[in-house]
């Protein structure tokens, strides 16, 4: 991403956050991950105000680039290992909600390891391990993420209607393998 200079002079706290954020992003990029952007940073670069159409966010986490963030979240699924205590938070948060693509399974297990589920699991891992999210925080983020992926919503029928290979905005699972992510 290119950094645009903001017209209003940023506060010292915002400048410090930007510097710290740049260092963290550079370090994360070194290992092949990109830390999820803050709402203000993401919105400013996209030329939008937080809360505007095309920008779905909860707290400081904004979902504004489904393609990039799907890859990022799958990366978190593969790399963030939760402690037993953290895994218990993830379990409590996700087992009580149906999987977006498969209503007969819960979001913690789904019926398979489709790319959509991997993004949900990666988001939960990130939220719990890096942001110390609670069960309700995880669910709020998952709701926001699924709304960004498919604004018209999921009905839990994808797996039963052969939609596994469809992109998320067509109520699909985004494919079944990370190498063939369908967006």
Euclidean distance between CA atoms 98 and 122, whole angstroms? 17
1 in any annotated domain: no
pLDDT at 32: 34
- For the question of whether the overall pTM of this predicted structure is more than 0.75, the answer is no
At 95-129, the pLDDT tens digits run 999 999 999 999 999 999 999 999 999 999 999 99
Residue 30 in domain: no
Q: How many domains does the chain have?
A: 1
Those residues of the chain that have pLDDT short of 70 are 1-57
pLDDT at 58: 79
Residue 91 lies inside a defined structural domain of this protein: yes
152 occurs within a structural domain: yes
Residue 94 located in a structural domain: yes
Expressed as residue numbers, the domain containing 82 is: 50-180
Strand (E) or helix (H) holding 56? strand 56-58
Assigned domain for 66 exists = yes
Q: Alpha helix locations (H) across 65-157?
A: 66-79, 84-94, 115-131, 135-149
């Amino acid at each position: 991403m290119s950094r645009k200079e903001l017209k209003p002079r940023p506060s010292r706290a915002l400048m410090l956050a930007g510097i710290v954020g740049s260092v963290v992003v550079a370090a994360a990029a070194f290992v092949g991950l990109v830390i999820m952007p803050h709402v203000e940073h993401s919105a400013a670069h996209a030329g939008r105000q937080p809360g505007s159409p095309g920008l779905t966010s909860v707290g400081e986490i904004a979902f504004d680039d489904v393609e990039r963030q799907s890859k990022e979240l799958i990366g978190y699924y593969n790399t963030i290992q939760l402690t037993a205590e953290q895994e218990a938070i993830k379990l409590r948060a996700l087992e009580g909600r149906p999987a977006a693509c498969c209503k007969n399974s819960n979001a913690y297990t789904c019926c398979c390891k489709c790319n959509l589920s991997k993004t949900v699991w990666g988001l939960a891992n990130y939220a719990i391990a890096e942001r110390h999210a609670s069960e309700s925080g995880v669910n709020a983020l998952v709701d926001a993420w699924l709304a960004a992926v498919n604004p018209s919503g999921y009905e839990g029928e994808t797996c039963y209607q052969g939609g596994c290979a469809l992109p998320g905005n067509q109520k699909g699972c985004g494919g079944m393998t990370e190498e063939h992510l369908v967006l």
